[in-house]
Amino acid sequence: MPLAFGNVREKPLRELWEEMHGALGRPRCGCLAMELWRKKLLADRPALPVPPEGSRAIAAALPKDGPLPGFYRALLGR
């Protein structure tokens, strides 16, 4: 994952996951790294992973909805 939301040595994993989930939205059918590359959201980044502040800004530019992957649809009985 080219984005970073923090360090588990500094923040509880639960907090990091909740922040990442809130920033990125629901699961995607495709690869997030490829989506970021296609939309050129990583083009001006000198190094990866992108630090948390930049990761939040990039995540804000992504759609938060879309079709759920088949696995999640099956879990939900859809």
Q: Is the pLDDT score of 78 beyond 90?
A: no
Let me know if 59 is exposed, middle or buried by CB neighbors in 10 A (0-12, 13-18, 19+): buried
Instruction: Report the C-alpha gap between 75 and 78 in whole angstroms.
Output: 8
Residues in the chain: 78
Task: Give per-residue pLDDT as tens, 18-76.
Answer: 999 999 988 899 999 899 999 999 988 888 999 999 999 999 999 888 899 999 999 99
pTM (2 d.p.) = 0.78
